[in-house]
Amino acid sequence: MAATKDSRPDRMVERLLGDHHSLPLSIALHLVPGALIVAVYLLITGPLVKAMGYPPFLGWAIAMCLALAPAQLGLLLWLGRRRNGRLSLRGVVSYLDKPIPRGKLVAIVAALIVQMVVLSFALIPVDNFVYQWLFRWVPFEGAGSVTGYLTGCSRTAVIVSLVSCVPLTGLAFPIIEELYFRGFLMPRLSRLGRWTPVVNTALFSLYHFWSPWGFLSRVVFMLPGVWLVWRKKDLRLSIGMHPGTTLLTTTVGVIALLLNLVPL
């Protein structure tokens, strides 16, 4: 019996670290972390921050601390420990060999950040339209827009929430997502050929259950970076684009609030 129990984790590790994931397994690995984040928010962090007088945005950030980090980074580190005998992502996360020269990398990442910022703002009307027609029933307080997650509280509470979340939602969580979705999951979809980055981007967009109305726009502004990671085999491209954009926009938003340039 003991041998059977000991072999189960080994079979699980072997399956997760295989060169290819089955489509059902890959779909589950893409979407389960998003479901966990929503569950933690609805059951714990949403009611908690509301009772404290803070905006829903902070509740989502705390939910990601409790669900996103363990489900994604925790899994990667556990697999790395099982594979390498130490905390290492080698053999777990792909595209780490840095094939693109540094100067070219900086130029590509800068262009990707610009396109992501421009497209994300340009597609806000699309997100609003989809929300109004399909997702007004979603029970998340403040749903429908980014500013909706910040309203209904004092200016001080909003600023404290945003400033405290900059290193998390602006930097740490997007880096974890890129390691997990692009470095771990996407290479194991390689049987799909040229559809690999498209399927990975679509599942990543669907994983955002807390903002399903942004599915289409998220696919549009994420796909160029994801495609380049797949094409060039360099994870630094999406790590530069995704966290770079979120950190930039979050920081600019905080500064705008501090300077009273954005009404609440």
How far are the Cα atoms of 52, 62, 146, 148, 167 from residue 154, in angstroms, in the given order? 11, 19, 16, 14, 22
Give CA–CA dist 84/80, Å, rounded: 6
Query: How much of the chain, in percent, has pLDDT values that exceed 90?
Result: 75
- Residue with token string 């699980």: 12
Give CA–CA dist 47/69, Å, rounded: 21
Residue 243 CB-half CA count within 13 A? 17
Residue 18 CB-half CA count within 13 A? 13
What's the pLDDT at 41?
97
Q: Per-residue pLDDT tens for 47-90?
A: 999 999 999 999 999 999 999 999 999 999 999 999 999 989 99
Q: What is the pTM of this model?
A: 0.93
Mean of per-residue pLDDT scores for the chain: 91
What's the pLDDT at 2?
45
Burial of 135 (0-12, 13-18, 19+ CB in 10 A): middle
Q: Taking the CB of residue 106, how many other CB atoms lie within 10 A of it?
A: 13
Burial of 96 (0-12, 13-18, 19+ CB in 10 A): middle
Give CA–CA dist 160/149, Å, rounded: 14
Give CA–CA dist 98/88, Å, rounded: 17
Range 128-147 average pLDDT: 83
Q: Taking the CB of residue 193, how many other CB atoms lie within 10 A of it?
A: 7
Q: What is the DSSP letter of 159?
A: H
Type of residue at 170? G
Type of residue at 30? H
Give CA–CA dist 114/111, Å, rounded: 5
Burial of 72 (0-12, 13-18, 19+ CB in 10 A): buried
- Residue with token string 């600019």: 252
Q: Per-residue pLDDT tens for 162-211?
A: 888 899 999 999 999 999 999 999 999 999 999 999 999 999 999 999 99
What's the pLDDT at 115?
97
Q: What is the DSSP letter of 93?
A: S
Q: 3-state DSSP call for residue 114? A: helix
Provide the pLDDT confidence category of residue 38 given band limits of 50, 70 and 90. very high
- pLDDT reading at 262 higher than 80: no
Query: How much of the chain, in percent, has pLDDT values that exceed 70?
Result: 94
Give CA–CA dist 95/117, Å, rounded: 25
Q: Which has the closest alpha carbon to 66: 106, 25, 107, 37?
A: 37
Q: Taking the CB of residue 32, how many other CB atoms lie within 10 A of it?
A: 13
What's the pLDDT at 158?
85
